[in-house]
């Protein structure tokens, strides 16, 4: 841990100062250690203690109807496995993977275009990033109207005026799922693009010029120079997208409410449903633990991949 | 050469075309919100008789005015508390070489892996026992605690990598006490990372729907997303009115975004990479 490899010269401007561990002996820690106490206290109160309690709850049959909970081991997890949450977990994973793939493909292309000399590129960046700051719930309602049922939804009314067949987009499980994916992509492609743009700052133009002089085409330059240097940005985007996708809640809540007939239910909406509608506290906590494990695995993979890339760079 | 030209043209079409696709929902949003009641022209056709009536009606009938005030209060207080508490903790964590300090730092990092859902119900009971349910304080405490891992991670790593120790040593030699060094030397140097932190944490708190839905339920106090949720529930088919409400709810955050655009985008790029 004490020897960090020297970072090469080809790094984004913001990182040029990272030379080795620069921690020197300092007396600050001894006199100001109590500065950390408020943070530790609120962190214990809000994160650590409730999480440990929640982890224990997942092993009990506590519910709104059974307040003196018994320890039942992995019973909740077995119930989950047999119930409809297996389907919800797969669906959540599908949403996460689909949004990440589409979002990264579009985000990377846009970043490559908006990194070059393009008329109005700052305006385009502003527009594409803007949905990112808006509440996912609000965005959800907007799209719920656009894809509304025959007779009222914007697209359906347009279809009707063209004399075309109207479609019940949100009443059909498959199209409802794809609309959720579209909404997430619409809102978060901007942030994916911005991270790629930041990564592109680290691609030295001299290298691309040199390759051009050697006769490399656009694709060859992208494949052998730009893409390898973008590797950390790719990792970050994939992981942020996957983790965000696994936790998806607001959009489902606003657009489909989990319907039709539970066909767009995700892990997070099920946790909420078990908790608030069914009063199945133990079961709800167990499902949350499953989600936690999924997210933790992804986070650790991200950490490991980034570390390896740093070492290989 | 022709293939190259075609490729370039395709790329332009893709870029401008997709930007246009990004704008269509916004066009519909505005177009419908300015449409008078009883106007049933298809949504894609521009509204000819534009009116501000929907906005006035929403302002008068929805809980949005007070929700905006509540959201501002909660976001401001939470952000301030997060900044103060996390920078205070980050300083000894970044500078001290004691083993306990390293351990504490890693202890905070664990929090980045724990999703809030596991803690959901126990936390709800804690808030109830503390008597905070139905008050903005429940949310403020929740946001401060929940954001501690990320805030401390960001500020501590920034302190370690980008703030040279020399300034602090010089100030110490000139007779500053440790807390004076922190206040007058370290804090000003932390400005860039604090900007990033405010943007990322602030947007997250401002847009959070789930926590206020849970913790403010039945209290009569709402934040913007909850007010929107209630308004949509009450006027489920009047889309012109709903869209006016959505626009009102978006104005504060979009204004801040447009004014501080450069910093917001930088903040996201820097913070998410962190």
Are B33 and B67 found together in one domain?
no
**How far B81 CA lies from chain A's nearest CA (Å)?**
10
3-state secondary structure of A270: helix
Residue A273 counted as domain residue:
yes
Q: How is residue A235 annotated by DSSP?
A: H
The tokens for A272 are 């909420």
pTM for the whole thing? 0.85
Q: How is residue A215 annotated by DSSP?
A: T
Q: Do A194 and B268 touch (CB under 8 A)?
A: yes
Total domains present in chain B: 2
Residue A56 counted as domain residue:
no
Residue A29 counted as domain residue:
no
Phi, psi of B78 (to 5 degrees): -60, -45
Total domains present in chain A: 1
What pLDDT, on a 0 to 100 scale, did the predictor assign at position A13? 38
Would you say A192 and A105 are in contact if contact means Cβ atoms under 8 Å apart?
no
Kindly compute the dihedral angle of the four CA atoms of residues A194, A198, A200, A202, in this order, to the nearest 10 degrees.
-170
Would you say B240 and A108 are in contact if contact means Cβ atoms under 8 Å apart?
no
Are B125 and B176 found together in one domain?
yes
Q: CA–CA separation, B96 vs A32, rounded Å?
A: 9
Are B71 and B27 found together in one domain?
no
Are B141 and B199 found together in one domain?
yes
What pLDDT, on a 0 to 100 scale, did the predictor assign at position A17? 42
Residue A44 counted as domain residue:
no
Q: How far is CA B54 from the centre of its chain?
A: 27
Q: Is the peptide bond before B224 cis (omega within 30 degrees of 0)?
A: no
Residue B79 counted as domain residue:
yes
Are B13 and B105 found together in one domain?
no
DSSP, residue by residue, A18-60 = --S------SHHHHHGGGGHHHHHHHIIIIIHHHHHHHHHTTB
Residue A78 counted as domain residue:
no
What pLDDT, on a 0 to 100 scale, did the predictor assign at position A293? 87
Residue range of the domain that includes A230: 90-278+286-312
What pLDDT, on a 0 to 100 scale, did the predictor assign at position A21? 47
Give the A window 9-68 contacts with B, CB below 8 Å. Answer: 14, 17-18, 22-33, 35-36, 38-40, 42-43, 45-51, 53-55, 57-58
Residue B29 counted as domain residue:
yes
The tokens for A310 are 């740093």
Q: CA–CA separation, A136 vs A138, rounded Å?
A: 5
Residue B224 counted as domain residue:
yes
CATH code of residue A96: 1.10.3720.10
What pLDDT, on a 0 to 100 scale, did the predictor assign at position A26? 57
Phi, psi of B111 (to 5 degrees): -60, -25
Residue B71 counted as domain residue:
yes
Query: Nearest CB to A57: which of B23, B121, B265?
Result: B121
Residue A184 counted as domain residue:
yes
Residue B176 counted as domain residue:
yes
Query: Nearest CB to B19: which of A109, A124, A138?
Result: A124
Phi, psi of A86 (to 5 degrees): -60, -45
Residue B22 counted as domain residue:
yes
Are B132 and B23 found together in one domain?
no
Would you say B190 and B198 are in contact if contact means Cβ atoms under 8 Å apart?
no
CATH code of residue B208: 1.10.3720.10
Residue A28 counted as domain residue:
no
SS3 content of chain B, % helix, strand, coil (to 5): 80, 0, 20
3-state secondary structure of B182: helix
Are B113 and B199 found together in one domain?
yes
Mean pLDDT, residues B241-249:
89
Are B190 and B89 found together in one domain?
yes
User: Of A57, A44, A138, A202, which is closest to residue B251 (Cα–Cα)?
Assistant: A138
Residue range of the domain that includes B199: 63-273
Are B42 and B132 found together in one domain?
no
Residue A224 counted as domain residue:
yes
Q: Which residues of chain A have pLDDT under 50?
A: 1-23
What pLDDT, on a 0 to 100 scale, did the predictor assign at position A163? 84
**Greater model confidence, A304 or B135:** B135
Say if residue B108 is exposed, middle or buried (CB neighbours under 10 Å; 0-12, 13-18, 19+): buried
3-state secondary structure of A199: helix
> Tokens 């892996």 correspond to what residue?
B113
Are B35 and B70 found together in one domain?
no
Query: Nearest CB to A53: which of B112, B122, B242?
Result: B122
The tokens for A82 are 């047999």
Are B91 and B218 found together in one domain?
yes
The lowest-confidence range among A124-133, A162-171, B36-45, B123-132 is B36-45
Kindly compute the dihedral angle of the four CA atoms of residues B135, B137, B139, B143, in this order, to the nearest 10 degrees.
180
Q: What ipTM score was computed for the predicted complex, to two decimals?
A: 0.86
Are B116 and B248 found together in one domain?
yes
B161 interaction partners in chain A (CB closer than 8 Å): 17-18, 22
pLDDT digits (tens, 9 = 90+) for B58-110: 898 888 899 999 999 999 999 999 999 999 999 989 888 788 888 999 999 88
Residue B251 counted as domain residue:
yes
């Amino acid at each position: 841990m004490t020897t960090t490899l020297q970072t090469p010269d080809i790094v984004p401007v913001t990182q040029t100062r990272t030379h080795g561990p620069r921690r020197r002996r300092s007396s600050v820690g001894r006199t100001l250690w109590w500065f950390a106490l408020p943070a530790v206290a609120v962190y214990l109160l809000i994160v650590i203690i409730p999480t440990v309690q929640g982890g224990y709850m997942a092993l009990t049959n506590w519910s709104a109807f059974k307040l003196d909970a018994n320890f039942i081991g992995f019973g909740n997890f077995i119930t989950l496995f047999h119930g409809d949450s297996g389907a919800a977990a797969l669906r959540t994973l599908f949403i996460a993977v689909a949004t990440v793939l589409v979002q990264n493909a579009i985000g990377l292309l846009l970043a490559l275009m908006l990194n070059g000399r393009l008329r109005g590129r700052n305006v385009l960046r502003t527009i594409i990033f803007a949905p990112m700051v808006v509440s996912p719930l609000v965005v959800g309602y907007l799209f719920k109207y656009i894809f509304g049922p025959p007779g009222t939804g914007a697209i359906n009314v347009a279809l009707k005026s063209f004399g075309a067949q109207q479609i019940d987009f949100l009443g059909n499980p498959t199209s409802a799922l794809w609309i959720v994916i579209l909404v997430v992509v619409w809102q978060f492609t901007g942030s994916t693009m911005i991270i790629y743009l930041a990564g592109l700052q680290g691609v030295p133009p001299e290298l691309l010029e040199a390759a051009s002089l050697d006769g490399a085409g656009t694709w060859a330059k992208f494949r052998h120079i730009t893409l390898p240097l973008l590797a950390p940005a790719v990792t970050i985007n994939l992981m942020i997208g996957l983790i965000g996708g696994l936790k998806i809640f607001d959009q489902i809540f606003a657009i489909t409410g989990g319907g039709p007939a539970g066909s767009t239910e995700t892990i997070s909406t099920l946790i909420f449903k078990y908790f608030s509608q069914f009063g199945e506290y133990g079961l709800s906590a167990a499902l949350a633990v499953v989600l936690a494990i999924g997210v933790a695995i992804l986070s650790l993979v991200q950490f490991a991949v980034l570390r390896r890339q740093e070492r290989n760079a | 050469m022709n293939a190259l030209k075609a490729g370039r043209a395709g790329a332009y079409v893709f870029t401008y075309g997709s930007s246009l696709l990004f704008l269509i929902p916004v066009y519909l949003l505005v177009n419908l919100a300015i449409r008078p009641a009883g106007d049933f022209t298809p949504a894609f056709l521009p509204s000819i008789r534009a009116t501000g009536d929907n906005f006035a009606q929403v302002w008068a009938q929805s809980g949005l005015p007070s929700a905006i005030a509540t959201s501002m209060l909660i976001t401001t207080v939470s952000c301030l508390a997060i900044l103060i508490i996390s920078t205070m903790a980050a300083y000894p964590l970044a500078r001290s070489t004691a083993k306990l300090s390293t351990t504490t730092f890693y202890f905070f990092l664990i929090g980045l892996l724990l999703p809030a859902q596991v803690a959901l119900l126990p936390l709800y009971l804690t808030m109830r026992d503390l008597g905070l349910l139905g008050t903005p304080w429940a949310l403020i405490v929740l946001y401060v605690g929940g954001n501690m891992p990320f805030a401390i991670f960001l500020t501590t790593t920034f302190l370690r990598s980008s703030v040279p120790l020399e300034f602090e040593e010089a100030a110490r030699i000139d007779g500053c006490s440790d807390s004076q060094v922190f206040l007058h030397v370290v804090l000003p140097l932390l400005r860039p990372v604090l900007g990033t932190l405010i943007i990322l944490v602030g947007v997250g708190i401002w847009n959070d729907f789930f926590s206020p839905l849970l913790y403010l339920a039945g209290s009569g106090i709402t934040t913007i997303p909850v007010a929107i949720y209630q308004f949509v529930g009450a006027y489920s088919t009047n889309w012109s009115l709903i869209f006016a409400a959505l626009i009102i709810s978006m104005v504060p955050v979009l204004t801040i975004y447009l004014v501080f655009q450069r910093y917001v985008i930088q903040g996201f790029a820097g913070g998410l990479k962190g």
